[in-house]
């Protein structure tokens, strides 16, 4: 049967159905792309002026008026003593290069955290060096990239920013203790009440009681798209505890043949133990792994330059 134009009516209905299906598919795909962009790319600011919030909370940064002495391999002040060094092991494709900072703090609260753009939220990023310079840091490393996910307990500089326990975290106490803990078994307020100054939410723990932590060869941070696995030979960042107020920070370069291949989590644990750490914790790695000292990035990030991140740990100069 045909209509006045001579077009079979069934065909016209089928054509309309195909157009509708195509439009629906485009909406679904478009909606999926928008969801992904909104979740992982578009900045969402929850706190726009972190410095003002910390000022109000009474935890704002204070630095000794005496200043410090900076050399090519170290820094000394009333607040902190820092020694940096470079270690290279192996040869050829098995070469590994890492940067180590031995840090002794006059007070645990000298180790501070800072956020990209001085704002807390998701998908807010700046380079480690830019965040460090904005806060007068003499030393800094990338943090846990909290802004890639919306879970984890985040206490920074004595202020609660997020209370959504999901994984194995690291807690820095104001009395100098540093402990690995299960985020799902406590709350941010309980931690703050117990004297926690900073928390990190990435992991896993690398070293516990001076031994390589069990299960790190299968550990995952979370199941977020693009971040479900942290295994293999990679650039790495870690923090270790030698004693109260005595820490060691390590950034391992990677993905650069002949210079540094990177390391596995077990390799990283072995490095931390060799440096005297009795507790050590894995931070965001890959292209984020960055160590800043004395006004410059001293390692070689795997992207050929710094990648933006959401947060740093630092010592002010």
Note whether 302 and 286 are within 8 A (CB). Answer: yes
Residues 38 and 126 in one domain: no
Band of residue 35 on the pLDDT scale cut at 50, 70, 90: confident
pLDDT at 224: 54
Residue 36 has pLDDT above 90, yes or no: no
Instruction: Work out the average pLDDT over 182-194.
Output: 98
Scanning the chain, the segments in alpha helix (DSSP H) are 9-40, 50-57, 128-134, 188-193, 265-274
Band of residue 119 on the pLDDT scale cut at 50, 70, 90: very high
Band of residue 273 on the pLDDT scale cut at 50, 70, 90: very high
Residues 78 and 30 in one domain: no
The one-character DSSP state at 263 is B
> Assign residue 176 a region: left if phi > 0, alpha if psi is -120 to 50, beta otherwise?
left
Residues 133 and 207 in one domain: yes
The one-character DSSP state at 259 is T
Whole-Å CA distances, 174 to 14, 105, 110, 244, 270: 70, 11, 9, 10, 28
pLDDT at 39: 75
Residues 109 and 70 in one domain: yes
pLDDT at 105: 98
Residues 6 and 136 in one domain: no
Residues 56 and 168 in one domain: yes
Instruction: Work out the average pLDDT over 76-93.
Output: 97
pLDDT at 24: 40
Residue 26 has pLDDT above 90, yes or no: no
Range of the domain at 13: 1-42
Residues 159 and 34 in one domain: no
Instruction: Work out the average pLDDT over 235-254.
Output: 98
pLDDT at 6: 44
Residues 207 and 83 in one domain: yes
Residue 266 has pLDDT above 50, yes or no: yes
Residue 8 has pLDDT above 50, yes or no: no
Band of residue 207 on the pLDDT scale cut at 50, 70, 90: very high
Question: How many domains is the chain partitioned into structurally?
Answer: 2
Report field, pTM of the whole predicted structure over 0.85: yes
Residue 120 has pLDDT above 60, yes or no: yes
Residues 63 and 3 in one domain: no
Residues 173 and 309 in one domain: yes
Of 156-165, 217-226, 235-244, the poorest mean pLDDT is in 217-226
Residues 145 and 28 in one domain: no
Place of tokens 């440096």: 275
pLDDT at 223: 62
170: Cβ–Cβ under 8 A, 6 or more apart, which residues?
178, 179, 180, 181, 199, 200, 203, 205, 239, 281
Residue 97 has pLDDT above 60, yes or no: yes
Residues 101 and 20 in one domain: no
Residue 17 has pLDDT above 80, yes or no: no
In whole angstroms, what is the distance from residue 64 CA to residue 23 CA?
Answer: 64
Highest mean pLDDT among 8-12, 15-19, 185-189, 222-226: 185-189
């Amino acid at each position: 049967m045909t209509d006045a134009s001579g077009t079979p009516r069934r065909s016209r209905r089928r054509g309309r159905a195909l157009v509708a299906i195509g439009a629906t598919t485009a909406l679904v795909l478009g909606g999926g792309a928008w969801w992904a962009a909104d979740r992982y790319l578009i900045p969402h600011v929850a706190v726009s002026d972190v410095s003002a919030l910390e000022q109000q909370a009474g935890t704002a940064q204070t630095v000794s008026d005496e200043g410090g002495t900076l050399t090519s391999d170290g820094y000394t002040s009333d607040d902190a003593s820092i020694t940096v060094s470079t270690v290279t092991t192996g040869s050829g494709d098995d070469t590994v290069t890492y940067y180590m900072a031995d840090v002794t703090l006059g007070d645990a609260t000298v180790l501070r955290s800072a956020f990209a753009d001085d704002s807390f939220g998701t998908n807010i990023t700046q380079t480690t060096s830019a965040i460090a310079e904005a806060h007068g840091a003499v030393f800094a490393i990338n943090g846990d990239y909290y802004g890639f996910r919306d879970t984890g307990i985040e206490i920074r500089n004595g202020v609660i920013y997020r209370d959504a326990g999901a994984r194995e975290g690291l807690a820095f106490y104001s009395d100098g203790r540093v402990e690995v803990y299960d985020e799902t078994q406590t709350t941010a307020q309980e931690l703050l009440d117990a004297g926690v100054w900073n928390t990190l939410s990435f992991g896993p723990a690398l070293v516990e009681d001076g031994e390589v932590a069990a299960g790190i060869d299968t550990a995952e941070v979370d199941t977020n798209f693009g971040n479900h696995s942290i295994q293999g030979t990679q650039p790495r960042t870690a923090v270790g505890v030698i004693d109260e107020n005595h820490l060691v920070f390590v950034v391992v370069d990677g993905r650069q043949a002949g210079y540094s291949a990177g390391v596995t989590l077990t390799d990283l644990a072995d490095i931390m133990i060799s440096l005297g750490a009795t507790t050590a914790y894995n931070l965001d790695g890959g292209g984020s792994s960055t160590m800043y000292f004395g006004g410059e990035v001293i390692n070689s990030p795997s992207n050929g330059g710094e990648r933006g991140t959401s947060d740093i740990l630092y010592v002010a100069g």
